[in-house]
Structure 1
Amino acid sequence: MSIPADIASLISDKYKSAFDNGNLKFIHTETKKTKDPKTSMPYLISHMPSLIEKPERGQTPEGEDPLGKPEEELTVIPELGGANDKSYKLLLNKFPVIPEHTLLVTNEYQHQTDALTPTDLLTAYKLLCALDDEESDKRHMVFYNSGPASGSSLDHKHLQILQMPEKFVTFQDRLCNGKEHFLPTFNTEPLQDAKVSFAHFVLPMPESEEAVDEELLAMCYISILQRALTFFQDWLNENPELKKSYNLMLTKEWICVVPRSKAFSDEMKIGFNSTGYCGMILTKNDEVFSKITEKPELINDILLECGFPNTSGQKPNEYNY
């Protein structure tokens, strides 16, 4: 797996050029850091009116694939991968939620509902290793929104990479703090924070980058994905319209999967993808921003509305394995 040593500079230079030339849409007006007084879950709530311009699922003309032939101005690396297999391209997100928000896209069309392959996971992890910089306190997250209720808007398979806000500690960070890497068994469940309303499955990653390979990443992913997919089996009688959807988040410290039941809260008029499920909440309109910054405990209810109930402490059944 070959990631250019100057990858951070390549992204930064391309972003500056695209921003200056108006090739991407980024308007960031206000951010508020807060936490839920009941669960202590930290939130970073950002008001981003530029996201109104981003097409939602179903708004891209049928048959059109914006990621298949991306704009040259947004293409950081057209061919990325192993020595003889350039399976991916690295693009700037046209509607970034923070500067230098990038997309790892398969060159050959694959669907966003497809499972991640061991190579997808390793390429994403290697990008994290190349982009993270302890000295500058730069830390990144890769995420994958899979399925119609996950907050994904495009069907061409892509993972997203963004820099985490400085000094922002997610609930997954707290959950994994001081814990050794492990794989779930019948007696050892993935980690869940009992205070958080929604189901989520988290595993600490090995401290050493050398210990992380395709096999380990695949085993982590499959073991927690199985937990997430169990919900669709359990809830299908109650909601026959359910379509398998989930969010995956990966940092060098942990991997997390969240099963999703809805992409959008009808009551609060706000949608979520993976970023929401680690506490980074994006709003498009003033009213919602005001409401949830004044009462951050509302967010826990909305995240549950769009997910499934927390199963912390429950014994697994045979479908989990």
Structure 2
Amino acid sequence: MLGLSEALPQLVESKFASAKASQALLFSPTELFIIRTSAGIPASAYHLSGFQLRYCPFLGRKPEPRKDPTPKKKIDPFEDPPTELFITNVPTANPSHFLILNKFPIIKDHFILATKSNKQQTHALEEDDLKATFACLKAWQTRDNRCRLFAFFNSGDHSGASQPHRHLQFLPVDSMHEGDQSAGWDVLLDSILTNGTEDACTSVVQHSKLPFSHFAYRFTSEPSVAELLNAYNHLYREAKQAIDGFISTHPGHLSLHESAQGDLPISYNMAMSTQGMAIIPRRNEGHMLRRDDGTDIGFVQLNGTVLGGTLMVKFQEEWDTLRQHPEKLDAILEAIGIPKTTQTTKL
């Protein structure tokens, strides 16, 4: 489907190296530590692998933009992508999307699939979005599964989304691994798909150890475009139902988004691999990390990388606190999502 003249990993790696050398992108290496939720201990056949805690002080030092009394149109980084970051059109003939490097990566070879036309991030994903995403996942993966991608998507005010132009993001799993430092960690989506329980009637997979509602679907073989779209729509409906239920039982705590212009009424994260797909409904972009005396340390934000089993902090005290008190991860994960429900609807 991609129609590339060379292998996707080599194409991305070559572009990343040249963009880094020319400073067209700013790569910010991180310190890494593995922490666990309370439910992840003790380990068992159904335990959750650890979460990657990444510390990137460079992002905390970035200057805040000066306030301008004259409102300006927000720049769309995907409207006229810079040559230094542009990878390729997808497909190469009659493209609907293109691939571009993330300008501020903290993971090597982080790249993005964006729509050629300015479609909205808050609208439902379409067949060609899902088809192109799976094609990238398949093009990267080797037969022994040692090299593969993790894809994620953020939609809505509470999801960690930063750009309104529709785009999905890719992280090479081997770049997320960092030798002994990442021992005890695996992609959370993998844990859900491998160790989660599948409802025999609905095919929805859920992991008993996760503290928030999530809905996953396993691919039993290479999915057709119709299966991808059907799975996405079904998981989205489950997420919407979970949020509707939360709103009805917690009045005043969460509201649906305005949807008059085709925007979806909820915030959510979606993740995909060649093995399956998952969606998390969201109610908060992050959670305030606090000291024992109740004073604020900092606001920890999460996007779709939560389904990769990773979160990032920018400041030393946040980094120190979560390493010393990993149980605080429970409160963060509980705050961003919807309390779990076991009700699912038939696929």
Match among 114, 118, 131 for residue 122 of structure 1: 131
Could you say which residue in structure 1 is the equivalent of 2:209? Answer: 195
| Aligned-residue offset at 1:135 | 4.4
| Aligned-residue offset at 1:94 | 0.5
Tell me, yes or no, if the aligned pair for 1:3 and 1:126 is still in contact at 8 Å. no
| Aligned-residue offset at 1:240 | 5.1
Cα distance change, pair 179–161 in 1 and its aligned pair in 2 (3 A): same
Q: Indicate whether 1:113 and 2:122 are aligned.
A: yes
Cα distance change, pair 29–130 in 1 and its aligned pair in 2 (3 A): same
Could you say which residue in structure 2 is the equivalent of 1:260? Answer: 282
Tell me, yes or no, if the aligned pair for 1:51 and 1:95 is still in contact at 8 Å. no
Could you say which residue in structure 1 is the equivalent of 2:237? Answer: 226
Tell me, yes or no, if the aligned pair for 1:3 and 1:130 is still in contact at 8 Å. no
Task: Give the root-mean-square deviation of aligned CA atoms.
Answer: 2.8
| Aligned-residue offset at 1:173 | 1.9
CA distance in 1, matches of 2:26, 2:229: 35
Secondary structure in structure 1 of the residue aligned to 2:35: strand
Secondary structure in structure 1 of the residue aligned to 2:33: strand
Over residues 281-308 of structure 1, what are the superposed CA-to-partner deviations in whole Å (9 max), with x where a residue is unaligned?
1111111111112222211211111111
Cα distance change, pair 135–190 in 1 and its aligned pair in 2 (3 A): closer
Amino acid at match of 2:55: H
CA distance in 1, matches of 2:115, 2:158: 21
Cα distance change, pair 72–230 in 1 and its aligned pair in 2 (3 A): same
Tell me, yes or no, if the aligned pair for 2:55 and 2:313 is still in contact at 8 Å. yes
Amino acid at match of 1:308: I
Superposed counterparts of 1:305-320, under 5 Å: 305-311=335-341, 314-316=342-344
**TM-score between the two structures when normalised by the length of structure 1:** 0.87
Tell me, yes or no, if the aligned pair for 1:38 and 1:297 is still in contact at 8 Å. no
CA distance in 2, matches of 1:38, 1:220: 28
Match among 170, 178, 195 for residue 161 of structure 1: 170
Tell me, yes or no, if the aligned pair for 2:28 and 2:104 is still in contact at 8 Å. no
Cα distance change, pair 134–98 in 1 and its aligned pair in 2 (3 A): farther
CA distance in 2, matches of 1:3, 1:264: 39
Match among 187, 195, 206 for residue 170 of structure 1: 187
Larger deviation, residues 259-268 vs 139-148: 259-268
CA distance in 1, matches of 2:233, 2:344: 15
Could you say which residue in structure 1 is the equivalent of 2:36? Answer: 35
CA distance in 1, matches of 2:226, 2:280: 21
Superposed counterparts of 1:1-321, under 5 Å: 1-4=1-4, 5-40=6-41, 41=48, 42-52=50-60, 53=62, 61-77=72-88, 79-81=89-91, 83=93, 85-135=94-144, 137-164=146-173, 165-166=176-177, 168-177=185-194, 187-188=201-202, 190-206=204-220, 208-209=221-222, 212-236=223-247, 237-239=251-253, 241-243=255-257, 244-267=266-289, 268-311=298-341, 314-316=342-344
CA distance in 2, matches of 1:3, 1:21: 28
Tell me, yes or no, if the aligned pair for 1:112 and 1:157 is still in contact at 8 Å. yes
CA distance in 1, matches of 2:314, 2:3: 35
Gaps of 5+ in 1: none
Secondary structure in structure 1 of the residue aligned to 2:39: coil
Aligned residues: 308
Cα distance change, pair 176–316 in 1 and its aligned pair in 2 (3 A): closer
**TM-score between the two structures when normalised by the length of structure 2:** 0.80
Cα distance change, pair 219–63 in 1 and its aligned pair in 2 (3 A): same
| Aligned-residue offset at 1:214 | 0.7
CA distance in 2, matches of 1:315, 1:153: 31
Tell me, yes or no, if the aligned pair for 1:76 and 1:91 is still in contact at 8 Å. yes
Secondary structure in structure 2 of the residue aligned to 1:276: helix
CA distance in 2, matches of 1:136, 1:203: 19
Secondary structure in structure 2 of the residue aligned to 1:144: strand
Tell me, yes or no, if the aligned pair for 1:24 and 1:95 is still in contact at 8 Å. yes
Cα distance change, pair 25–308 in 1 and its aligned pair in 2 (3 A): same
